[in-house]
Structure 1
Amino acid sequence: MQRTRPRDRPLRPVLWAGLGALAVGVVLCVTGWYGVSGERYAERQLPYIASCTVPGAALIVAGAVLLASLRGQGPDAAATEQNADAEPVEAPSPPPSAEGPLLQVPGGTLLHRPDCPLVTGKPGAAPPDDASALQPCPVCQPEA
């Protein structure tokens, strides 16, 4: 039987590098901790911290970053992208026009143009019954 190579073959070096960095980082941190724990004086602990613990922590962070970079790049990501492309996309609604009757938000005290960002998309925005009692909006500045 012939074996085929998986499509995610280029991701394997990054995966192994991330796992290797994590493993070496953990070993260095444990070695540094063990070395520090055996020394009584701070002067003798410093070499273990400098040569094992700090590089070990850096390798753990680097490995975590490498593994996090793989998220969303596997074979399932391609299927997800294909499914996302297959979904119907709604056409954007046309921008509101400045022409038309002035509007009031229910319970509001301001008079707005139809294209005012304060009323665009608000449910219930309708022409007011009595426009004389309303103040003009400071954003869209409608002409009363």
Structure 2
Amino acid sequence: MQRTRPRERALRPVLWAGLAALAVGAVLCVIGWYGVSGERYAERQLPYLASCTVPGAALIVAGAVLLTSRGGQGPDATTDQHTETEAEPVETPPPSAEGPLLRVPGGTLLHRPDCPLVTGKPGAAPPDDTSGASALKPCPICRPEV
């Protein structure tokens, strides 16, 4: 006699409930469509929409959610396990306010090293005296002390 795993047993009722909801929803939508198609005036069509078509559509959505939810037990353990071969991302320390003031190439502002406007910019470097560093204005965001 073949035994089923506990996960498979727990998944069966959800699978059947999803399939049943889809089937009943589809039947209700067909009944609602048939009732609406036989009525000429909108006020006589509304009862079919309210009692068949809208609940049928809701059951179709509920059945689809039940079928895709894997029984409410989350993702499969074999596909979501953390393996030791995966490389952990290396966090770089945040830039500190200590250090020389920086300038972006072509920029007109002086920034602290931790200013968000220069963090991660490849060309950010301390200004050289030949480019007129004294003419640079302080950044209004990081407000370096010049």
- In structure 1, runs of 5+ residues without a counterpart are none
- Paired residues of 1:104 and 1:112 also in contact (CA < 8 A): yes
Identify the residue that residue 144 of structure 2 maps to in structure 1: 142
Identify the residue that residue 129 of structure 1 maps to in structure 2: 128
Matched residue SS, 2:115? coil
Spell out, residue by residue over 1:70-121, the C-alpha distance to the aligned partner (whole angstroms, 9 max, x if none): 399453xx22321466412123111111111111112221110111111111
Identify the residue that residue 103 of structure 2 maps to in structure 1: 104
Identify the residue that residue 15 of structure 1 maps to in structure 2: 15
TM-score by length of 2: 0.80
Q: Would the alpha carbon gap of residues 113 and 43 (structure 1) be closer, same or farther in structure 2, given more than 3 Å must change?
A: closer
- Residue 61 of structure 1: how far off its partner (Å): 2.2
Identify the residue that residue 35 of structure 1 maps to in structure 2: 35
Q: Which amino acid aligns with 2:48?
A: Y
TM-score by length of 1: 0.81
Spell out, residue by residue over 1:7-37, the C-alpha distance to the aligned partner (whole angstroms, 9 max, x if none): 3442333333222212211110011111222
Percent of pairs identical after alignment? Answer: 79
Q: Would the alpha carbon gap of residues 32 and 91 (structure 1) be closer, same or farther in structure 2, given more than 3 Å must change?
A: same
Query: CA separation in 1, counterparts of 2:140 and 2:49?
Result: 62
- Residue 42 of structure 1: how far off its partner (Å): 4.1
- Paired residues of 1:8 and 1:74 also in contact (CA < 8 A): no
Q: Which amino acid aligns with 2:140?
A: P
Matched residue SS, 2:25? helix
Q: Which amino acid aligns with 2:55?
A: P
- In structure 2, runs of 5+ residues without a counterpart are none
Matched residue SS, 2:34? helix
2:55 paired with 1:55: yes
Q: Which amino acid aligns with 2:123?
A: G
Q: Which moved more, 1:36-45 or 1:109-118?
A: 36-45
Q: Would the alpha carbon gap of residues 84 and 59 (structure 1) be closer, same or farther in structure 2, given more than 3 Å must change?
A: farther
